[in-house]
Amino acid sequence: MTFRRPTILGLALALWASPLAAQSVTVIRNVNLRPDPSSEYAPLRLLDPSEPPLTLVDPALESGYYRVRTAAGEEGYVWSRNVLLTVAAAPAQEVTVVRDVNLRPDTIPNQPATRLLTPSEPPLTLVDPTPVRGYYHVRTSTGAEGYAWSHNLRVSVAPAAIGAAIQPGPGITGSAAMLGCGDSLWEHVYHPSRLLVRADCVAVTGILVDATAHQSHHSPDGVRHERDGDTHGWLKVDSQFTNLINAGNESAEDGNLVFELVCHYPVSQTDAEPACAGFTDHTVIPPVGSHVAITGTFVQEKNHNHWNEIHPVSRIVVIQNH
């Protein structure tokens, strides 16, 4: 069995301009803390959703495992699909009640609830993005604070402001555990480890450009229809976002930022079928030439020409038509 010397992370990942000292890893399903990134050896112990937030020791995914440190200082590996990884969180996050849930004064379930929240409840504000023993600390529209069971809520991560400049971080290897914009779209990203996540949730404005203009087959919607079911679209970014364009975008994408709506088209690539099973994106793509704001996760491709993308895209909103 090989033990690796602890690495010291100097990551300062940012969303907008707010630096983050470390990435938070939250246990969302029971998962073993293991001494190695495999199931070959006996686990150190079982972690459940009541576990305090873990610290990400190494952003690289190893055989499907993340290397983490517990609040007690134990280091080991956890299976990525049983945790939620936050690269950078927005300053204010909206929480929607999806099933009846008690608002509690504490995270101890045997204490009397403050009141019952139902799906008709106005959106809540997330006070703390890290679950405590499976509960989120929230604030209601009337100002009441308390704790609600996380499985009965949906967290929508939103960028601070449309049009604000972005300073992305160095990146973390993508996985289905990524927070993204809080809409679970990372569960439908084909081979997510091919992407380097540089900011969880951003909004980038620009003009939609025809990504098929130089191809033998022109698509009426102006985007390439990939075999994995995703779009491959182009956004000519507004001036404040030119720092998001790298050499790969310049050489291979005509200087445009790529955007990908996952599972938008029928999948013809066999190994991509599981990612889109039971899910189809129905986002309406505005016409070429539209001035839009595209919200999603900012990533860099590890393959091809290492261009930057918004992938997955959470929404596209028309600002104005030119």
Q: Are 20 and 88 in contact (CB under 8 A)?
A: yes
Whole-angstrom CA distances from 113 to 101, 102, 108, 138, 176 are 10, 6, 10, 14, 33
Cβ count within 10 A of residue 218: 10
CATH number of 172-321: 2.40.50.140
- HEC string of the chain equals CCCCCCCCCCCCCEECCEECCCCEEEECCCEEEECCCCCCCCCCEEECCCCCCEEEEEEEEECCEEEEECCCCCEEEEEHHHEEEECCCCCCCEEEECCCEEEECCCCCCCCCCEEECCCCCCEEEEEEEEECCEEEEECCCCCEEEEEHHHEEEECCCCCCCCCCCCCCCEECCCCECCCCCCHHHHCCCHHHEEEEEEEEEEEEEEECCCCCCCCCCCCCCEECCCCCEEEEEEECHHHHHHCCHHHHHHCCCCEEECCCCCCCCCCHHHHHHHCCCCCCCCCCCCCEEEEEEEEEEEECCCCCCEEEEEEEEEEEEEEC
> Would you say 113 and 70 are in contact if contact means Cβ atoms under 8 Å apart?
no
Q: Left if phi > 0, otherwise alpha if psi is -120 to 50, otherwise beta: which for 212?
A: alpha
How confident is residue 87, by pLDDT bands cut at 50, 70 and 90? low
Q: How far apart are CA 258 and CA 272, in angstroms?
A: 20
What's the CA gap between 154 and 306, in Å, rounded?
33
Indicate whether 180 pLDDT > 80: yes
Question: What is the C-alpha separation between 130 and 91, in angstroms, rounded?
Answer: 13
DSSP-derived pairing of the beta strands 308-321 and 257-259: parallel
Of 3.40.50.300, 2.30.30.40, 1.10.4190.10, 3.40.1000.10, which CATH number belongs to 94-156?
A: 2.30.30.40
Confidence band (pLDDT; 50, 70, 90) for 16?
very low
Highest mean pLDDT among 155-169, 178-192, 266-280: 266-280
pLDDT digits (tens, 9 = 90+) for 104-163: 998 887 889 999 999 999 988 888 766 677 788 888 988 899 999 877 887 765 554 566
Domain parsing of the chain, residue ranges: 14-86, 94-156, 172-321
Per-residue pLDDT of 88-106, as tens digits, reads 444 456 788 988 999 999 8
* pLDDT value of position 299: 96
The mean pLDDT value for 224-250 works out to 95
Supply the pLDDT for residue 82.
Answer: 84
Q: Are 148 and 102 in contact (CB under 8 A)?
A: yes
Can you tell me the mean pLDDT for 288-317? 92
Residue 308 pLDDT: 97
**Model pLDDT for residues 17-51, shown as the tens digit of each residue:** 233 334 678 888 899 999 999 999 999 999 998 88
Question: Which pLDDT does position 5 carry in this prediction?
Answer: 31
Is the torsion defined by CA of 127, 130, 131, 133 positive or negative? negative
pLDDT for the residue 20: 34
Q: What angle do CA 271, 194, 205 make, to 5 degrees?
A: 110
Give the per-residue pLDDT at 297: 93
- Extract the tokens encoding 309: 């993308």
For 62-86, write each residue's pLDDT tens digit. Answer: 888 889 999 899 999 999 878 877 6
Q: Which CATH architecture has domain 14-86?
A: Roll (2.30)
User: Does residue 307 surpass a pLDDT of 90?
Assistant: yes
The lowest-confidence range among 172-176, 252-256, 311-315 is 172-176
In the structure, what pLDDT confidence band is assigned to residue 237 with cuts at 50, 70 and 90?
Answer: very high
Same fold, 14-86 and 94-156: yes
Going by pLDDT thresholds of 50, 70 and 90, the confidence category of residue 170 is confident
pLDDT band at 263 (very low <50, low <70, confident <90, very high): very high
CA distance 56 to 67: 6
Q: What would the mean pLDDT of 246-270 be, rounded to a whole number?
A: 96
Over residues 171-200, mean pLDDT: 88
pLDDT at 130: 64
Rounded Cα–Cα distance for residues 6 and 192 (Å): 25
Q: In angstroms, rounded to a whole number, what is the distance separating the alpha carbons of residues 277 and 176?
A: 14
- State the pLDDT at residue 247: 96
Please check the confidence at residue 240 and state whether its pLDDT lies above 80: yes
- CB 292, CB 318: distance < 8 Å: yes
